[in-house]
């Protein structure tokens, strides 16, 4: 069986004001009635999958258990981070925890901010990587790019090698010119951020590429404290870890990566423009959500997140407007990717 390790401790600032420090995007129902976190847990459940290990910030612990219960998923183990240290420490903590029982445990590392509507097709793609992972490889799942996105990592592959094909090079979040070159040469896929490996493989990769982090996390797991069914990682060694993503700490450096191309629909709902692209629109390209009225608008999205609050757009073009009870965003749709920096400014204002 495969144990899903669901990473859901990110803060998703580019989807402000729906995504908040206290309630980030992965827990919000952005598309459909369930959250992206719930959709992730459901996608990785059923035959062949063990109960998940969820790694999250301690602040989100009850959101996690409540949302899993809502969709009928066994909560498995929930590891709590005392502070945010990005995905490398989170994933390694889960691998060390699972290795205590079985070093050969197969792990599927899964971000929780993806929209992948065809779950059976994705589960089938995962199965094609199992043998390679059991033999000590790290299998990544790649998506054929349709634009020069700079918010994703890129996987360089040999176009005609059989799948899983050995990865030539991993480039995390390139600049625009590099992304355009990689997009047009046909030999690169987007990194979906989903990885399959054994606990032993990940620990060995970390011993090689991030030994200090491994020592700290061993300590954080060794001194972890059970609390109401949660496992609280020890604060002091955790705080001593660098804030670094698994892509940068391990994947860019490892030499045992293989790629399975996933051809089903995949999207990281990272910003409002991505949410807009997935929303149902009328003949003018306008999408509304909640009590919203769009008059003579085009290529615009209006969302109200509370039943008591109406939002009206009149004569708008290429706008996203999001109304929360305590905050409103009105933005040029093409610039919604800049929101992360804007939210940082807002937080600095206090």
Dist. CA 158–CA 155, nearest whole Å: 10
Residues that bind ligand GDD (CB under 6 A): 7-10, 26, 55-56, 81, 84-87, 90, 111-113, 152-153, 172, 190-193, 247, 268, 270
Min dist CB 270 to Mg ion, Å, is 5
Looking up tokens 């990566």 gives 257
347 burial level (CB within 10 Å; 0-12, 13-18, 19+): exposed
- Whole-number minimum distance, CB 172 to Mg ion, in Å? 12
Tell me how far, at minimum, the Cβ of 117 lies from Mg ion, in Å.
17
Cis omega (within 30 of 0) for bond into 239: no
Distances (CA, A) of 113 to 15, 96, 194, 297, 318: 11, 24, 11, 29, 24
With CB cut-offs between 5 and 8 Å by kind, which of ligand GDD, Mg ion, none does residue 288 bind? none
C-alpha 340 chain-centroid distance:
16
| Pick 146 or 160: Cβ nearer ligand GDD | 146
**164 versus 174: smaller Cβ distance to ligand GDD:** 174
Bridge partners of residue 304, in order along the sequence: 323
Residues comprising the chain, all counted: 350
219/50 Cα distance (integer angstroms): 26
Q: For residues 32 and 325, which CB has a smaller minimum distance to ligand GDD in the complex? A: 32
Residue 9: which of 20, 24, 19 has the closest Cα? 24
Contact 307, 316 (CB under 8 A): no
From Mg ion, ligand GDD, none, which one binds at residue 9 (CB under 5 to 8 Å depending on kind)?
A: ligand GDD
Q: Least distance from C-beta 293 to ligand GDD, angstroms?
A: 33
Q: Which does 190 bind (CB under 5 to 8 A by kind): Mg ion, ligand GDD, none?
A: ligand GDD
Contact of residue 170 among Mg ion, ligand GDD, none (CB under 5-8 Å per partner type): none
Q: Please state the closest distance from residue 268 (CB atom) to Mg ion, in A.
A: 4
Q: In whole angstroms, what is the distance from residue 350 CA to residue 346 CA?
A: 7
Shortest distance in whole angstroms from residue 245 CB to ligand GDD = 6
CB 266 within 8 A of CB 217: no
Of 81 and 113, the one with the shorter C-beta distance to Mg ion is: 113
The entry of ligand GDD, Mg ion, none that residue 142 binds, CB within 5 to 8 Å by partner kind: none
Between residues 84 and 163, which has the closer beta carbon with respect to ligand GDD? 84
Residue with tokens 């979040």: 173
Burial class for 244, CB neighbours closer than 10 Å (0-12, 13-18, 19+): middle
Q: Which does 90 bind (CB under 5 to 8 A by kind): ligand GDD, Mg ion, none?
A: ligand GDD
Nearest distance in Å: CB 212, ligand GDD: 18
Query: Closer to ligand GDD at the Cβ: 4 or 313?
Result: 4
Which residues contribute to the site for Mg ion (CB under 5 A)? 113, 268
Q: Which is nearer to ligand GDD, 244 or 298 (CB)?
A: 244
For residues 98 and 105, the answer to whether their CB atoms sit within 8 Å is yes
């Amino acid at each position: 069986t495969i144990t899903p390790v669901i990473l859901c401790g990110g803060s998703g600032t580019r989807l402000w004001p729906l995504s908040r420090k206290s309630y980030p995007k992965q827990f919000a129902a952005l598309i459909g009635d369930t959250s992206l976190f719930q959709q992730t847990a459901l996608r990785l459940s059923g035959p062949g999958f063990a109960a998940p290990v969820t790694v999250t910030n301690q602040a989100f612990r009850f959101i996690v258990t409540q949302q899993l219960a809502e969709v009928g998923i066994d909560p498995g183990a929930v590891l709590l981070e005392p502070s945010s240290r990005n995905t490398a420490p989170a994933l390694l903590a889960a691998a060390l925890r699972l290795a205590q029982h079985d070093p050969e445990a197969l792990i599927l590392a899964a971000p929780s901010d993806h929209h992948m509507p065809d779950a059976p097709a994705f589960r089938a793609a995962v199965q094609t990587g199992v043998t390679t992972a059991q033999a000590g490889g790290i299998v990544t799942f790649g998506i054929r790019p349709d634009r020069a996105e700079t918010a994703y990592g890129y996987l360089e592959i040999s176009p005609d090698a059989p799948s899983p094909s050995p990865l030539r090079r991993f480039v995390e979040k390139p600049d625009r010119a590099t992304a355009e070159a990689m997009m047009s040469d046909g030999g690169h896929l987007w990194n979906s951020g989903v990885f399959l490996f054994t606990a032993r493989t990940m620990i060995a990769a970390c011993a090689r590429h991030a030994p200090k982090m491994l020592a700290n996390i061993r300590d954080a797991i060794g001194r972890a404290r059970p609390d109401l069914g949660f496992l609280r990682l020890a604060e002091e060694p955790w705080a001593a870890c660098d804030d670094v993503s698994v892509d940068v700490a391990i994947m860019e450096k490892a030499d045992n990566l293989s790629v399975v191309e996933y051809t089903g629909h995949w999207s990281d709902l990272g910003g409002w423009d991505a949410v807009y692209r997935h929303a149902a629109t009328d003949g003018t390209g306008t999408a509304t959500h909640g009590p919203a009225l769009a008059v003579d608008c085009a290529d615009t999205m209006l969302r109200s997140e509370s039943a008591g609050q109406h939002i009206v757009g009149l004569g708008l073009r290429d706008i996203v407007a999001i109304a929360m009870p305590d905050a409103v965003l009105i933005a040029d749709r093409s610039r919604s990717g800049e929101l992360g920096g804007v939210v940082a400014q807002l937080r600095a204002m206090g």
